[in-house]
Amino acid sequence: MNIKNTEQIKRMREAGLLLWETHQIAKSFVNAGISTKEIDAEVDAFIKQKNAIPLFKGVPCSVAGKPPFPAATCISVNEQVVHGIPSDRKLITGDIISIDIGVKYNGWSADAAVTYPVGATTEEIGKLLTVTENCLKMDIELLKTKSKWSKVVKHSSKLVHQAGFSIVEELVGHAIGKELWEHPQVPNHIPGPNDDFKIRIGMVLAIEPMVNMGGKDVVFKDDGWTCITRDNLPSAHFEHTVAITENGPEVLTCGPNGEGWAM
């Protein structure tokens, strides 16, 4: 476990602010008729303009024989849970689009994701987005008072299940710092004793609930990356990078005035 000091968290906040700006660029292009590849191109160009590194591009695939991730963003539409590869697919009204971006800036990493509706959506999809965002908000709030991660996620997972949705268990959040993925893993379901951890000052966690409208089961497409719901029902994904400080949790990937999803 890599504990960060105050100065290191300050540096991570600089990366987080840049990532917030990057997400605003992505958001401005979320409209019916645009392709996910076009959104990614705008994000990639902005990150390079800021002398930062798109963390996802070039990450090796865990599936033997499959190519590294080719893009700056993971863009997942509708039944795609995470790790969607940007393509020529054009958004249409009624879609939901999850945009996950990671950057490294001056040696420090930040990771955040958000799901947007494309125009008008159904009431049930609106509920899915609200519940997933509230799940992340609850996790952040409970970091103020809970001593273990299991005690945090116990409450947010209950929120999901009471809404009639399910939590993806095969994919988890993670600690973050100089590297994108650090120990410990941060599951969105109640962990077993071997996967639980104490909340400690100096931890920086990428907390990222993934909530499915239908069942919790997921499968991976032949590209080795794109994770979809087994039942092809929609999924939502919200994420922030959060530091545990002496004054409580600090969201490092919100806007300059503390604005953002799940805030």
Residue spans per domain, the chain? 6-251
| CB neighbour burial string for 228-238, b if at least 16 within 10 angstroms, e if fewer | bbeeebbbbbb
pLDDT value, residue 134: 98
In this predicted structure, the answer to whether residue 160 has a pLDDT above a threshold of 90 is yes
pLDDT band at 141 (very low <50, low <70, confident <90, very high): very high
pLDDT band at 40 (very low <50, low <70, confident <90, very high): very high
217: its two tokens: 């089961």
Q: pLDDT tens for residues 91-119? A: 999 999 999 999 999 999 999 999 999 99
pLDDT band at 2 (very low <50, low <70, confident <90, very high): confident
In this predicted structure, the answer to whether residue 185 has a pLDDT above a threshold of 90 is yes
Q: Which of 176, 234, 184 is CA-nearest to residue 206?
A: 176
d(CA 100, CA 240): 10
| CB neighbour burial string for 161-194, b if at least 16 within 10 angstroms, e if fewer | eebebbbbbebbbbbbbeebbbebbbbbbbbeee
Cβ-based burial of 81 (10 A; exposed 0-12, middle 13-18, buried ≥19) = buried
pTM above 0.95, yes or no: yes
Q: Which of 171, 185, 162, 164 is CA-nearest to residue 218?
A: 171
pLDDT band at 1 (very low <50, low <70, confident <90, very high): confident
Q: What is the mean pLDDT of the chain?
A: 97
In this predicted structure, the answer to whether residue 172 has a pLDDT above a threshold of 90 is yes
In this predicted structure, the answer to whether residue 193 has a pLDDT above a threshold of 90 is no
Cβ proximity of 216 and 166 under 8 Å: yes
125: its two tokens: 């999809």
- Mean pLDDT on 6-28: 98
> Residue 59 contacts by C-beta under 8 Å, 6 or more apart in sequence?
68, 69
Question: With the CA atoms of 180, 151, 242 and 263 taken in that order, what torsion angle do they form, in degrees rounded to the nearest 10?
Answer: 130
pLDDT value, residue 154: 96
- Mean pLDDT on 142-153: 97
Give me the architecture of the 6-251 domain, per CATH. Alpha-Beta Complex (3.90)
Q: Which of 63, 65, 86, 90 is CA-nearest to residue 75?
A: 86
d(CA 154, CA 152): 5
Q: pLDDT tens for residues 72-86? A: 999 999 999 999 999
